[in-house]
A and B are shown apart, each in its own frame.
Chain A
Amino acid sequence: MRRFDAIVIGGGLVGAAIAYGLAREGMVPALIDEGDIAYRASRGNFGLVWVQSKGLGAPHYQRWTRRSAEEWPALAAELFARTGVAVGHERPGGVHLCLSRAEFAERRVRMEQMRRESGNFGFDYRMLGHDEVAALLPGIGPAVVGASFTAYDGHANSLALLHALHRGFVGRGGVYLPNRTITEAVAAPRDFRLGAGAEEIGAPVVVLAAGLGNAALAPRFGLSAPVRPQRGQILVTERAGRVMAMPTTTVRQTLEGGIMIGDSQEDVGFDTGQRIDVMRAMAHRAVLSFPWLAGLQIVRAWAALRVMPPDGVPIYDQSERFPGAFTANCHSGVTLTGVHANVFAPMVAAGALDPALAPFSARRFDVPQAA
């Protein structure tokens, strides 16, 4: 049996970021990756590093996602220095476009609630009218009533990010074990043995970062990860010269020039199929927002599954029954890469999660007993 300092299950953005962070702490972790048969939310996402919409009614999540956005520039620079892979991170701020008075009013209420809930931490946002949005993003359509703006938002090339994390992980001495599923799990406090493919491996620390696979894995380690798939579809246009100065929640221009259109949400189980009516609705709203989009060819489209906790807020936990077992679950693997590598991984390396992460525990879903 091969032994490691830690085993991270899941080679997507969440697992790779945590494994990279553990290797940086001086551990020799194994990173187990299911391979190309996996659902791979990390390969299907929209690529935002997004703050302004995250954590309504959950101030701990608002702070966590803000913290991640703050960690991003240094992590991107570090990954480039160590791997030569540019992850294309930009933080020009971002907007959420509102296409009706009702949407604008609703957004204002939401943003003001975010500000109230931020407490002393602060949350600077602005509600912009049509002309102010047009000054930031020339070419918006007359249907755009206004937008919310924060300077916290940005975007990145998430495929390059996944590549950089993997390369950085191996470069720091981590061991990548691809094309393996967990066939067996024997858990004891700070002593875990896993069947990974045909091989048995062991470690005193295990981190479950298997995305939708965590739901079935977690109970074997005394943990709970009630995540479900939520489908999102994405359309991508031909590459064009730089025209968008900043990303929006549903339309963004990549550094290479393609325009991505996204943010659909469907509850259809483990189905990565695409639907014309959803694509049509996405394209319609995008063209109302940016009429010049109508002249561009769509060259690619796909669907992927978000890893969605019941309340949309990430789940981080450590096992009480089997200390040394941790879990990380979220639908914002790109945004949260900063904290996963720079904050969460050092906690795991130190042996316990910080009490500040307690509100993220899956125990919040336990129904209290009636008195």
Chain B
Amino acid sequence: MFRRRPDGRAATVAVTVEGREVLVPAGASAAAAVLLAGLHTIRATPVNGTPRAPYCMMGVCFDCLAEIDGEPNRQACMVPVRPGMQIRRQRGPRAIDAG
């Protein structure tokens, strides 16, 4: 569904999206990495479990929530990639251990 721009920067940073290694340009967001990995959804909503994809890519819509390096509900479009970053889809609400 998504293609990289022909004049895009070289993909040099290796991250892991849902267990699969993907190369993305330096400075790209974790949400872009999910799209480059070919995934069509990044989360399931907390109330109905509806699938969602990254949408606004500028920190407004909260549709790109993902688990990044073990931390749930991150706005993936606002998080620049780092080598070795672990990105997983956000499935439903964040679980709370109230103790």
Which A residues are within 8 Å of any B CB, using their own CB? 138-139, 238-243, 255-257, 290-292, 296-297, 299
Contact = CB atoms under 8 A, between A and B. Distances in A.
A239 B99 contact: no
B86 interface: no
Contact of A241 (B62, B94, B99): B94
Interface string B57-99: 0000010000000000100000000000000000011111111
A239 B73 contact: yes
A239 B98 contact: no
B10 interface: no
B46 interface: yes
B93 A239 contact: yes
Interface of B: 46-47, 62, 73, 92-99
Contacts of B99: 138-139, 291-292
Interface of A is mostly: loop
A289 to B, nearest CB: 12
B98 A138 contact: yes
A229 to B, nearest CB: 29
24 contacts: A138-B98, A138-B99, A139-B99, A238-B73, A239-B73, A239-B93, A239-B94, A240-B93, A240-B95, A241-B94, A242-B93, A243-B96, A255-B47, A256-B47, A257-B46, A257-B47, A257-B94, A292-B96, A292-B97, A292-B99, A296-B94, A296-B96, A297-B73, A299-B62
Shortest beta-carbon contacts, A-B, top 10: A139-B98, A243-B96, A241-B93, A238-B73, A240-B94, A239-B46, A257-B93, A138-B98, A240-B96, A257-B46
Contacts of B98: 138-139, 243, 290, 292
B52 to A, nearest CB: 13
Contacts of A238: 73, 94
B95 A241 contact: yes
A341 B95 CA distance: 38
Contacts of B96: 139, 240-241, 243, 292, 296
Given A241-B94, A257-B46, 18 more contacts: A138-B98, A138-B99, A139-B99, A238-B73, A238-B94, A239-B73, A239-B93, A239-B94, A240-B95, A241-B46, A241-B92, A241-B96, A242-B93, A243-B98, A256-B46, A296-B94, A296-B96, A299-B62
Contacts of B93: 239-242, 257
A95 B55 CA distance: 39
Contacts of A299: 62
A238 B75 CA distance: 10
A240 B96 CA distance: 7
A256 B94 CA distance: 12
Which residue, A242, A256, A257, has most C-beta atoms of chain B within 10 A? A257
Nearest to A300: B62
B93 to A, nearest CB: 4
B55 to A, nearest CB: 16
Nearest to B96: A243
A297 B78 CA distance: 14
A139 B98 CA distance: 4
Nearest to B73: A238
Contacts of B62: 299
A245 to B, nearest CB: 10
Contacts of A243: 96, 98
A259 to B, nearest CB: 9
A240 B92 CA distance: 9
Nearest to A141: B99
A239 B46 CA distance: 7
Contacts of B47: 255-257
Contacts of A297: 73
Contacts of A292: 96-99
Contacts of A242: 93
Nearest to B92: A241
A256 B49 CA distance: 12
A240 B73 CA distance: 9
Contacts of A291: 99
Which residue, B47, B62, B93, B96, has most C-beta atoms of chain A within 10 A? B96
A243 B97 CA distance: 8
Nearest to B99: A139
Contacts of A256: 46-47
A236 to B, nearest CB: 12
